Structure 1
Amino acid sequence: MSGIYIHIPFCKQACHYCDFHFSTSLKKKEELVEALLIELKLRKKENVGEVATIYFGGGTPSLLSLEEINTILNEVFHLYPVIDNPEITLEANPDDLTEEVIKNLAASRINRLSIGVQSFFEEDLKLMNRAHNAEEALVSIELATQYFNNISIDLIYGIPDMSNERWRENLTIALGLGVPHISSYALTVEPKTALKKMIETGKVKPVEEDLAKSHFEILITTLEEAGFINYEFSNFGKPNYFSKNNTAYWLGKPYLGIGPSAHSFNGEHRSWNISNNAKYIKSIFQEELPSQVEELSVVDRYNEYVMTRLRTQFGVNLAEIENLFGKKLATYFKKEAQVFYDKELLQEENHKILITKKGKFLSDGIAADLFYVE
């Protein structure tokens, strides 16, 4: 089974930490929606198989009207074989989620909301230049839980001047709202972002790895005690509420990425569309795909497998490595992994090699050390 990701490249304002592709001008929104419909038609020939998940990401997909969302979804269902009861997620910002909007979304095919809260504290939201305030965050979730069963919220930790106590309170508030899924990420300083410039000019304190590590440990303990499963480094879900869309990515299943900057993967090669709205629209209107393609070698696919699996509860399986990538790479992984067993950063459980609790915050570095470099 496969997924379809639809990138909506518009935002009301630019968050200081964000390096995703988006525009704060909505002038081309109608043309962009039309281009998405055309790309869906052009990509039909790629034959990705049955579609199990549809995900509206961005940007801020909640800036679309209900009519635009339904038009896109109707085209997906018309062109592609979609399973019964697919997971259909819409990313939304709290300031867009009035009760009327939520009611209308609940009456559509959307069955999962991912709400970009980031923090329940005003000072954090202002530092990040979020478009919503703390009150809107609370109200949007309280309303959403009246109409949606499957809700995820995003929270950011490691924010300068965020104490452990304030981080705990963020989590306490989230748990009190009864959402079944939380995605939580460390604040990172990306090149060419406003946050990086603010840190360089001394307007904002530097991001500290030790603070992020402390917050991550609090996150793990607090959510596990509340019955959440840390099924991927940054994702926590109650049983039966894991993101099917994201899980498919981590398990290496194919997906189509529709829209400017969107990535696609078919198991053997990866492609990505141009990160420019005007050029994307012009090319699509000429029925040309504005994308680049990267053929993935066996080693590329092995390295991606190691990176994604070690972040998840699914872990690495040596028999699977040998079956997918050959005995040489299975032998290599087994040999190189020994040092991490010795340091109690990796463990074997039911034929799966997993990151230990001690090693979780280091998972990306551990994976990188297990990459095969030709």
Structure 2
Amino acid sequence: MMEALISELELRKDEFSNEKVATIYFGGGTPSVLSSEEIKLLIDTVHQNYKVIQDPEITLEANPDDLSEQKIIELSNSPVNRLSIGIQSFFEKDLKLMNRAHNAEEAKKCLSVAIRYFDNISVDLIYGIPNTTNDEWRENIETALSFGVPHISSYALTVEPKTALQSFIEKGIIDDVNDELAQEQFLILVDELDKAEFVHYELSNFGKEHFFSKNNSAYWQGKKYLGIGPSAHSFNGKERSWNIANNAIYIKKIKEKELPCEIEELSVTDRYNEYVMTGLRTVWGVDFKRIDQEFGNQYLQYLKMQAEKFILQDLLYIENDTLKTTRKGKFLTDGIASDLFKLNLS
């Protein structure tokens, strides 16, 4: 697999010949299974084949059970300069419900070690978990803040098909996910992190000044990115592509110097819809001038017309020719965005 990843990086360097790499992200699956030497080898391959800015953001995703003290120290001596840790909750009952491999004690121990070696740490928290009270949710937030982490990503619990969680809900063992509870806990999160001087810069992301995720911000702002490895997605501004998910076929194709990916060309309407969806989720909003320049005046007029009812409902507002969500509208962002989409392809 390592050989295939290196080969894919080399095979695709021309796709990024006019770009500068600002972030490198080890995500998906469990990249923490890689040794520090393997991580360094992949980063060196990027430097050898691509133009890389001075001091790029290099993030590694991991779960607490993957991050022993020795592993954290090893990573701190590698080029990795940011950790994204999947805590999810500091309550044992929540972790068992979500079938997480780590326990609450491991989550706290992992963070207490990580903050000694890394300045730039993000933790993931889940809200809307059945039978989790608002007071318990506040305690989760306070516990995360007590470690001094500068970034928190937080998502509503979703029930995936064919999981233990779905089975428990269907059998009535636990309550189903409650949208009203999720919305309450989302607003608690917004208020508590605002008090702690975090900026709510994207629907699910909160960061101290200078600690926004540069990698994820690039997605939301429509910048190009290159995804390496099985199932990885890429975007060049006009086309989206994704690699095959099967490891064995991926390795075989790469050995044959063939890129195992499918490509979808995005229409003007596709790109407009994506910009509306991602822009509305962020603190930067949807820029009317950009809509006019990139997609044309008919798209701008359509957007303004569709947005009117949400402005009247105090869910959207316009500031400096930019469409943004109000505090009341934030939790409903994805639904609002879908109503602003243009469906008649052109």
1:68-83 map, 5 Å? 68-83=38-53
| Gap regions ≥5 residues in structure 2 | none
1:1-374 map, 5 Å? 32-47=1-16, 49-374=19-344
CA distance in 2, matches of 1:156, 1:308: 21
Deviation at 1:153, TM superposition (A): 0.3
Deviation at 1:98, TM superposition (A): 1.9
Deviations 1:24-62 (A, max 9, x none): xxxxxxxx2221111111111212511000000011111
SS in 2 for 1:59: coil
Match of 1:12 in 2: none
Please tell me the residue identity of whatever aligns with 1:39: E
Q: TM-score, normalised by structure 2?
A: 0.97
- Quick check: 219-228 or 100-109, which moved more? 100-109
Aligned residues: 343
Please tell me the residue identity of whatever aligns with 2:305: K
CA distance in 1, matches of 2:66, 2:16: 35
CA distance in 2, matches of 1:193, 1:283: 32
CA distance in 2, matches of 1:191, 1:266: 32
SS in 2 for 1:154: strand
SS in 2 for 1:182: strand
Distance verdict in 2 for CA 1:300–1:99, change over 3 Å: same
CA distance in 2, matches of 1:107, 1:54: 17
Deviation at 1:202, TM superposition (A): 3.0
SS in 1 for 2:277: helix
CA distance in 2, matches of 1:120, 1:281: 38
| Gap regions ≥5 residues in structure 1 | 1-31
- Quick check: 345-354 or 163-172, which moved more? 345-354
- Quick check: 49-58 or 190-199, which moved more? 190-199
Please tell me the residue identity of whatever aligns with 2:340: L
SS in 1 for 2:328: coil
CA distance in 1, matches of 2:274, 2:159: 23
CA distance in 2, matches of 1:331, 1:94: 48
CA distance in 1, matches of 2:60, 2:256: 29
SS in 1 for 2:332: helix
CA distance in 2, matches of 1:191, 1:321: 37
Please tell me the residue identity of whatever aligns with 2:167: K
Deviations 1:276-326 (A, max 9, x none): 112211211221111100000000000000000000000011111010111
Q: Kindly, what percent of the aligned residue pairs are identical?
A: 61
Q: TM-score, normalised by structure 1?
A: 0.90
SS in 2 for 1:207: coil
- Quick check: 348-357 or 232-241, which moved more? 348-357
Bigger RCO (CA 8 Å, 6+ sep): 1
CA distance in 2, matches of 1:71, 1:285: 19
